Amino acid sequence: MAQPQPKSSPLNELCSALPSLPSRLQQVGRFVAANDYDATTRSMRELAAVAGADPASFTRLAKALGYSGWDALRAALTEARRPEQSSPFSARTKGRRMGPHADVALVADKLEAEAAGLGRISHDAVANAARALRDAERIWIAGFRSCRSVAELLNYQLRLFRPEAVQLVGGSGPEDLDLGAFRPSDVVVVIGFAPYSTASVLSARAAHRARVTMIAIADTVSAPMAEGADHLLLFEAASSPGFFPSLTGAIAIAQSLAAVAFTLGGAAARQRLKETEARLTALSQYVVEKG
């Protein structure tokens, strides 16, 4: 019985198509093939400046390869860089530069990639999701394993002005008990990136069954916990160098959601925040600086 052939990578597709492309697209194609990491972390305008090409030529290249546009090709390149499921972290260390000053170079590369990823977060998508948080009767936040820190941050900030309405899935017991408590008037926020935790996918499926409004903070549109989401907020996890995927974008989205939801809450949200601050002060939760 014939074995299935492995799916061709976007880089292989690009290299195979080069001879048949117009000369200008060949130039751009060779640049992308030689700089595939930069192609996943830098904007199209930045790439064009380095390559000495028209930014629109990157879109034409992507369409010539059968993609809808440059964003789709870049997403495919990013996906191709993801490690195998069996070694999601250690596999990311392969191919890193070595030698003198490699440590400093890694810091520079990582900070540059993080900044580029933040710049590609959709402002409108985050603002629309924040409106759903404002209107929700209750807000459930599901984040597990490394994403638990993002979930706890969003939970903390929202509880400063909506303490009675916000709860972590699994925060006070087994998460399966919370999954059965979702109601149509609720909003469920699910956070995840590859490799995806089973609990995050189960939370998303429970939210879908309960017909709640679901906000997915995910690394790709094909994330299993993003299926059926009413609001999909994408962040870049795999494009940043280092042994572990990046949570910078997810944290930025979480903080933006809390900030916008508070602003939309108006005078009532401000009053609840003042009440929370007064209670924290009364409990001496913060260190008082001596003059």
* Rounded percentage of the chain residues whose pLDDT exceeds 70: 86
Which residues in the chain show pLDDT less than 70? 1-8, 41, 81-104, 106, 239-243, 291
Pairwise CA distance, residues 29 & 17, whole Å: 9
Domain region containing 74: 10-81
141, 154 Cβ separation under 8 angstroms: yes
The tally of domains found in the chain comes to: 2
Of 74, 50, 70, 66, which Cα lies nearest the Cα of 58? 70
Which CATH number characterizes residue 185's domain?
3.40.50.10490
Q: Which residues of 218-249 are buried (b: 16+ CB within 10 A; e: fewer)?
A: bbbeebebbbebbbbbbbbbbbbbbeebbbbb
User: Does one domain contain both 157 and 27?
Assistant: no
Whether 276 and 190 share a structural domain = yes
pLDDT at 97: 56
Q: Tell me the pLDDT tens digit for each residue of 143-201.
A: 999 999 999 999 999 999 999 999 999 987 778 889 989 999 999 999 998 888 889 98
Q: What is the pLDDT of residue 81?
A: 64
5 domain-assigned: no
Is residue 137 domain-shared with residue 23, that is, in the same domain?
no
pLDDT at residue number 3: 41
Q: What is the mean pLDDT of the chain?
A: 85
* Claim: this prediction has a pTM higher than 0.85: no
Residue 228 lies in a domain: yes
| Domain closes at, from 47, 81, 115 | 81
| CA atoms of 241 and 269, how far apart (whole Å) | 39
